[in-house]
Structure 1
Amino acid sequence: MFLSGNKKITVKLRDNTVDLKETKDLSARLMVLARSNRDINQKEAIGNYEFTLTPRALSASNGTILPCHDKSKLINLLEKLTREDVPHEDHQLPQTGSTTHQDVMDTGFIDTTSTDQPSRKIALVDGMVLVQRLSKKPVTVVTVKDLSGCFNERLMSLTRDYDEIILVFDTYRTDSLKSATRDKRRQGKAIQYQVRDDANIKHIPLSRFLSHDQTKADLTDYLAAKILEYNRGSSKLIITSASGNTRSNKDLLFEENNHEEADTLLIHQAVLASHRNPADAQLMFFSPDTDILVLVTANYDLLLKNTSISMASGVVQIEPLWRVLGKERAKALPAFHAFTGADNTGRFSRIGKATWLQIYLKADEDIINALQMLLDEAEVAEGMLSTLASFVCAAYSPKGINIKTIPELRWHLFCKHRAESDKLPPTLGALKQHILRVHVQTRVWAQAAIALQDPQLDPLHNGYFRDSDGMKPTTTEVLPAPKAIIEMVQCRCKYNCSSGRCSC
């Protein structure tokens, strides 16, 4: 990586300042200096300082959080748990066929061999997922109105066997953390388009049409209204929810909501549907998102017993998953998911979902309670930090080693296994910032079932800072090394430290 692409910080030392740049040999040079100074306690230094400008267990060299590439693996891991936990004869559940989520989204057909027909079937659909399935527009789609007609046909085909259809959309806010995540994923310049019946989109790829958040916001409102217009006389109950407003084609009234995520809004609408429908009705979520599986599982006690999700791997029944996890672990699952790797929170280096899940299933009551507190409590207490630190230690500890404090484990791994910085657990300073970011996300997920969520925790006081480029994660508030070591690496450059020969 080019030198200019790495993080740089300025450290104040007495009356001077020292500029440190993240380079591939910074950690090694700091370590040499630590060993050469007899006044420095190496064990304490290694245990409490990263010796890099960015905690490599949680961040890239430029200070961004590590993207979570394997969160979808959690779906297969949880499904595997239910297969291993073979139910008794009196707990047999309807078996699903091999129909995949893509097949369902394309054809609307779900193959199930269940002989017990529910009295009523309710479908909950993530609208933007269905929009994105239209990436290859039919040649007949010339205008935005044509797109809405095509969207309606897909929706009705997908849910043709259902009595009630609930369609929800994300709310697009320009100043949110979710917006920052979308900006990172976006490729190319965002272009805003008008959304009206006669707007011509024949030669505009859907990915470009949806590149701007305001276009998506306008489109969700437009589609929500069009679906009700197209199905005004339908015998089915059609409900749409976009931009905080929920409407239907029947005489149902809904209170406003302030959900930003379609994931949480789906849960809220599912809870309402569970209350107004008979106990033997069926809920089916249509979404391939891991977050949805996690949230539905955590809120299963508020939903109809016959609840399933159509995902990429097929139709997943929630009851077996709730049973194998147990109530406490199921309730804490959103916090576990955010802590171990989600879109807004990042992940730990070299520790995947499979490892984390194994540890989670064996975790003691204190760890489960600490994760639940991330969902319920307004602040992160020191006790939560130390308990979750022991959870991290369990993930990083070699087999047969039972060290429950991070400084001790960092020193052990450094001495016994010569572990590099990205193979060590994060220091407590770095872990605290990660937990604060997790807390922001989990507080949103914890309020999925209600209409009006409490205001989001202020990110600037919970693991983030703002600069000219927007909101960024605070990697740590602890110096990269003891001041005595940093004093020894200051350079003598008369101008800026742009040369590769600079010692800082």
Structure 2
Amino acid sequence: MTDARQARDMKDTLTVLNYLQERHPFCSDPSLRSISTGVHAHPSVNVDKAKAVGNTILVSMDGQTTAEYTFKKRDQAITMSTKSSVKIDGEAVQMDLQLLFQRLTIAAKASQDLASVFKYELCSHPSALFDISLLLRQPQKPVLADAIWALHTPDLLGVTGHVQYVLDGGALVQRIPWTRGSTYKDICKLYSEYVTRKYGEAVVVFDGYQGTSTKDMTHRRRAGGRVGATVTMDEYMPVTMNKDEFLANNTNKQQFINMLSGHLQKKNCQTYHAPGDADLLIVQKAVESATTTNTVLIGDDTDLLILLIYHANLKSHNLFFTPEPKKSTKKPRVWNIKAVKQQLGPSVCTHILFIHAIAGCDTTSRVYGIGKGAPLKKFTTSSEFREQATVFDTQSASTAEVVSAGENALLCLYNGKPGEGLDSLRHKRFCEKVATSTSHVQPQSLPPTSAAAKYHSLRVYYQVQQWKEP
């Protein structure tokens, strides 16, 4: 066990001991209660006798078939978190106390003043856009790809003949397992042999990890809290760290990419390095290659698909996008980008960057309750939504124009009325949910506030303009 782990375990142990010392769990009071809040359990709570409750249920099942037996709610163990009950005409009725409070709130005489409250978050962070860890809500990018695929007629011929391959270097680095004890030169040799065996003299484009990037929050999420120690490496040094831990350190990752790039160049592969996120550069190299020969971009990221749809030239050679084949995938999707553009139509392709970013990508938050396919569908059915999309496509749009267009676009996605305003819609949806729901309303289930939508809109605009870069 390392010294760092021992220190962490000791810190955790002391935290638990301090918590218990403050709350005195081992006292003479035999009642069942929560040591964190001090609230005593109702006499009906029997979760401490869960084993006896379970045995009773098992006994009641004896001699019955599965079709005959019905589990009854009254037989289950009752926890302190079970909804409280009130007696009406001698009958116990289960009640969610928070829901009861919310219903009394909207029924009170002062409820006409309640609307003004909904311009605030009602919690410590913008929960419709950020999760509890204060990271942007993780996007569901493959859903948009699925929605586009449903509109796309697959190219039955697929990729044929001689093609130039362009590879996403970030996905390539993650693809091959490392053997502990091998040297870094051995690892680079594995990569270069893999690339040349499958893709010949490919073009490989790598992300950059020096300085800040709009994708830093996504990198933090993917690292899962791991931060490996910095390694001063050379080719003949043996690998002693876990691959994921090594690559969680940006300095290590940049050093390895630089070393791998040199090995690939010796195999006549072309390598390019973006200063930050490489998605746009990858697509630019693929589009550039397609001007002279049929080209295949190998990648797994939906961002690459969206950028290809936007930037591809219909007058060029064939341009395909396909993921790296996996053993678990019987038949990977092969996207003929020119055919996709023709089937989506010029209007959708012109605004596909906004359609992707407004509902969440690696640099903008997923909007809680709005699926990735919703903006694509809304764009085809709503002239109001299409009007807002044009603002994000305009390079000279002012901040006020972007903020207004972003709020109106979100109103469309939530099926609000034009000019209603997100704060008013939040109040309206709260009242609707409280009146019909069987449990209390969570803040994230409401539309974002106008204040939160402002910064979401600015992030979307910034990302769209970055992706549009010629």
What range describes the TM-score normalised by the shorter chain of this pair? Answer: 0.5 to 0.7
Q: Deviations over 1:251-303 (max 9, x none)?
A: xxxxxxxx42221111222243244x2xxx21100101111001011111277
Q: What is the match of residue 455 of structure 1? A: none
TM-score, normalised by the number of residues in structure 2: 0.68
Q: Match of 1:240, as an amino acid?
A: T
1:441 aligns with 2:463: yes
Q: Answer 1 or 2: which has greater strand percent.
A: 1
**Residue aligning to 2:126:** 55
1:338·1:345 contact (CA, 8 Å) conserved in 2?
yes
CA gap 1:63/1:343 in 2 versus in 1, 3 angstroms = same
Question: CA–CA distance in 2 between the matches of 1:25 and 1:50?
Answer: 21
Q: Tell whether the 8 Å contact from 1:192 to 1:211 is kept in structure 2 after alignment.
A: no
Q: For 1:336-381, what per-residue CA distance to the aligned partner results, in whole angstroms no more than 9, with x for missing partners?
A: 21210112211111222133332233232x5335334435425554
Give 1:94 shift: 4.9
Percent identity for Structure 1 against Structure 2: 21
User: Which of 294, 299, 309 pairs up with 1:282?
Assistant: 294
CA distance in 2, matches of 1:49, 1:301: 46
Shift of 1:386: 3.2
For the 8 Å contact 1:394–1:404, the answer to whether it is kept is no
Query: RCO higher in 1 or 2 (8 Å CA, sep ≥ 6)?
Result: 1
Matches within 5 A, 1:141-156: 142-156=182-196
Q: Which has the higher helix share?
A: 2
Q: Which residue of 1 aligns with 2:45?
A: none
Q: Does 1:264 align with 2:277?
A: no
Matches of 2:100 and 2:453, distance apart in 1: 22
Distance change (3 Å), C-alpha of 1:328 and 1:305: farther
How many residues in Structure 1 have an aligned counterpart in Structure 2? 360
User: Which residue of 2 is the match for residue 95 of structure 1?
Assistant: 157
Matched, 1:81 2:151: yes
1-structure distance, mates of 2:365, 2:462: 13
Say if 2:407 is the partner of 1:345: no
Answer whether contact 1:65 1:346 (CA < 8 A) is retained.
Answer: yes
Query: CA contact under 8 A between 1:168 and 1:266: conserved in structure 2?
Result: yes
Q: Does 1:133 align with 2:175?
A: yes
Q: Indicate which of 218, 243, 247 corresponds to 1:210.
A: 247
Q: 1:52-451 residue pairs with structure 2 within 5 A?
A: 52-61=123-132, 63-68=134-139, 70-83=140-153, 93-96=155-158, 112=159, 117=161, 121-135=163-177, 137=178, 142-160=182-200, 165-187=202-224, 188-201=226-239, 203-231=240-268, 238-242=269-273, 259-275=275-291, 277=292, 281-301=293-313, 304-311=316-323, 313-364=332-383, 367-377=385-395, 380-397=398-415, 402=417, 405=420, 406-418=422-434, 420-447=442-469, 449=470
How has the CA–CA distance of structure 1 residues 322 and 43 changed in structure 2, closer, same or farther, with 3 Å as cutoff? same
Please give the alpha-carbon distance, in whole angstroms, between the structure 2 residues aligned to 1:167 and 1:39.
Answer: 61
**2:124 & 2:97 partners in 1: Cα distance?**
12
Checking the alignment, whether the CA contact within 8 Å between 1:331 and 1:372 is kept in structure 2 is no
Name the SS for the 1:42 alignment partner.
helix
Equivalent AA in structure 1 for residue 272 of structure 2: S
Secondary structure of the equivalent of 1:347? coil
Aligned-pair distance for 1:199? 1.4
CA displacement at 1:121 relative to structure 2:
1.9
**Contact 1:31/1:51 (<8 A) preserved:** no
1:286-321, Cα deviation, whole Å (9 max, x unpaired): 101111001011111277341111126421111222
Residue 180 (structure 1) shift: 3.7
* Residue of structure 2 in register with 1:494 after alignment: none
Tell me: CA distance 1:321–1:213, structure 2 relative to 1, closer, same or farther (3 Å). Answer: same
Structure 1 CA distance, aligned partners of 2:344 and 2:419?
A: 24
Match of 2:300, SS state, is coil
Distance 2:276 2:316 in 1: 24
C-alpha distance 228-25 of structure 1, shift in aligned 2 (>3 A): farther
Over 3 Å counting, the alpha-carbon distance change for 1:43 and 1:306 in structure 2 is same
1:211 shift after superposition? 2.1
Superposition deviation, residue 40 in structure 1:
6.3
CA distance in 2, matches of 1:329, 1:205: 44
Gaps of 5+ in 1: 1-23, 87-92, 97-111, 232-237, 245-258, 450-504
**Deviation readout 1:429-468 (Å, 9 max, x if unpaired):** 1111111122232222121x4xxxxxxxxxxxxxxxxxxx
